[in-house]
Amino acid sequence: MVTVTKQSVPAALDPRRWWALGALVASMLVLGFDMTILNVALPTMAGQLGASTGEQQWMADAYIVVFAALMLPAGLLGDRFGRRRMLMAGLGVFLAGSLVGSLAGDVTWVVVARAVMGVGAALVMPLSMSVLPSLFPPTERTKAVGIISAAAALGMPLGPIIGGWLLDHFWWGSVFLINIPMAAIGITACLFLLPETRDPASPKVDVVSTVFTAAGLGALIYAIIEAPTRGWGDPLVLALIAGAVLLLTALVRRERRSARPMLDMSLLTHRGFLLNSVAATLVMFVLSGLMFVLPPYLQAVLGNDAFGTGVRLLPMMGGLMVAARAAQPVVERFGARGVVSAGLVVLAFAAFLGSRTTVESGYGFTALWLSVAGLGFGFAIVPAMDGALGALPADRAGSGSGLLMTLRQVGGAIGIALLGSLLAGTFRDRLDVTGLPERAADTAGESVVAAHLVADRTGAADLLTSADTAYVHGMGLVLLVCGIASLVAALLAGAFLPNADTEHSDAADPDAGDSGVTGPDTTVPDATGTALGATGAVAALQDVAGPDMTDSDVTDSDVTDSDVTDPDMAPAPADGRQ
């Protein structure tokens, strides 16, 4: 076994490295379109499984909560026990979860399947990026990161289209079944093409902190989802909120006392990192909530099939891609603070415009504000991500990227829970079930899809009209909240966000080179912004292949060695150490 320093460059570049990259691309692509496929599938699943809005929230959030809680410890497991081994294990777990989901017969098993898939995704995402330094020299690494990020970016618009086509031709379980061959290809490719790398000096996994994170987030999400049904004053809801506060407080206290914390809370004392992280987290909050409430509107209210629903989400994806590509030149011209603030203002405008949607508005109006929303998302997320990581010292880029990714995942989970609960409560209060039997009325109040099914069975045309009106009203309130939150964030960003021209100076400082794997040519801020453009930004937004992960598991300043155990692809020793 040869031990090399982090700055080592492979002496003889093996042509298999690009085939190995193909294995990683397959791994990331399956994660890239999984979430958007589910969003399109939820209305169909709700109708066939009889899922309420709260149960649909759990189908989406089970994945995100587990993913957010396990992502950092999963990366550490790869460092200690072998990144290829744990990457293959993650793909295997994701495959198993997809198989369970495709065979599920009720909501509970779908939620279980999504949670299992979250475990697999937590292993796949950080490790797919952290193996790149052992495969590529600095001159090729940015290109490799761009390719793998593009795979995830490609999944964002492909997800709704593929999911819609599958639902129109097969049963709803096919949206899970499509993952199985992709994951199997990834496992096979990893086995034969990827070298094994590890870092035995990495910190141990903090099991207690992991449990605190999962239990605290789970309790908080459960309370938010159950509150519209039980009431915010319900003893169970209050107990869950209190338990979440205690668990998350204990997590913060434990991490602050740790010599090598899994979540470095002290990074939040950096104003640039804190404010940019808040902006990026808010974007995830709004995007996740929006992607949850839109498909039922397009499918149930406007009457589109699943494939048509997926296609009609593309204007937002298009706006996002355009803004992500244009963001970096605009930042260079006007500064990050102005662009982040402007992006959030555009997002707020789109949300306020969308809140004026009525049942008679039609898709043309929806496509308009979706396109504007995509532009706002793109112009806000790129400089916010770049500024958050650029505000940190180079020797803390890894821990900073891990904390940022966790915050974004938490924002997405809370967005689905909170905005979904607001929609569910409003829909139930506004729905007119006069004349319906009690059981039918309760069923109709669960979701707009359920109300349509009840109306079809009973022939109640008034219920159909009431359901559409109630849902559009609830969606309008959700968009109004999104607009207010975006506007407040824009004002805070404009007032307090740093706009220093030297935000990349730490990452580019040659003296800081020993603290990062990638070196000055592949620093995280550069990969997030200038080097990757649209692909890096979209991937970062979807949290499946953000380039900030390049360092998250391999740049801890206390770690100096990485073991390369594949004899064919092992780099030559840089300094003769064994």
Return d(Cα 459, Cα 488) in angstroms, integer: 45
pLDDT recorded at residue 471: 92
208-223 residues labelled b (16+ CB within 10 A) or e (exposed): ebbebbbbbbbbbbbb
Phi, psi of 440 (to 5 degrees): -65, -35
Statement: residue 415 has pLDDT above 70: yes
Phi, psi of 566 (to 5 degrees): -80, 120
Q: Which two tokens stand for residue 88?
A: 């293959």
Amino acid identity, residue 450? A
pLDDT recorded at residue 129: 66
pLDDT > 70: what percent of the chain? 77
DSSP secondary structure string for all residues of 392-455: S-GGGHHHHHHHHHHHHHHHHHHHHHHHHHHHHHHHHHH---TTS-HHHHHHHTT-HHHHHHHH
Of residues 391 and 3, the one with the higher pLDDT is 391
Element (H, E) at 4: strand 2-5
Return d(Cα 502, Cα 516) in angstroms, integer: 19
Return d(Cα 368, Cα 354) in angstroms, integer: 9
Indicate the DSSP class of residue 528: I
Tens of pLDDT, residues 334-374:
888 888 899 999 999 999 999 999 988 888 999 999 999 98
233-250 residues labelled b (16+ CB within 10 A) or e (exposed): eeeebeebbebbeebbee
Return d(Cα 356, Cα 486) in angstroms, integer: 17
Instruction: Give every CB contact of residue 495 below 8 A, 6+ residues apart in sequence.
Output: none
Q: Residue range 199-210: average pLDDT?
A: 74
pLDDT recorded at residue 438: 79
Tens of pLDDT, residues 387-408:
777 777 665 655 666 677 778 8
pLDDT recorded at residue 97: 92
Is-contact 561 199, C-beta < 8 A?
yes
Return d(Cα 256, Cα 564) in angstroms, integer: 33
Tens of pLDDT, residues 45-60:
877 888 777 788 788 7
Indicate the DSSP class of residue 317: H
pLDDT recorded at residue 245: 92
Element (H, E) at 562: strand 561-564
How high is the mean pLDDT of the chain? 75
- Single out the residue of 145, 161, 194, 162 nearest to residue 28, CA to CA: 145
Instruction: Give every CB contact of residue 501 below 8 A, 6+ residues apart in sequence.
Output: none
Statement: residue 548 has pLDDT above 50: no
The Cβ of residue 5 has, within 10 Å, a number of other Cβ atoms equal to 14
End-to-end CA distance of the chain: 8
Q: What is the pTM of this model?
A: 0.70
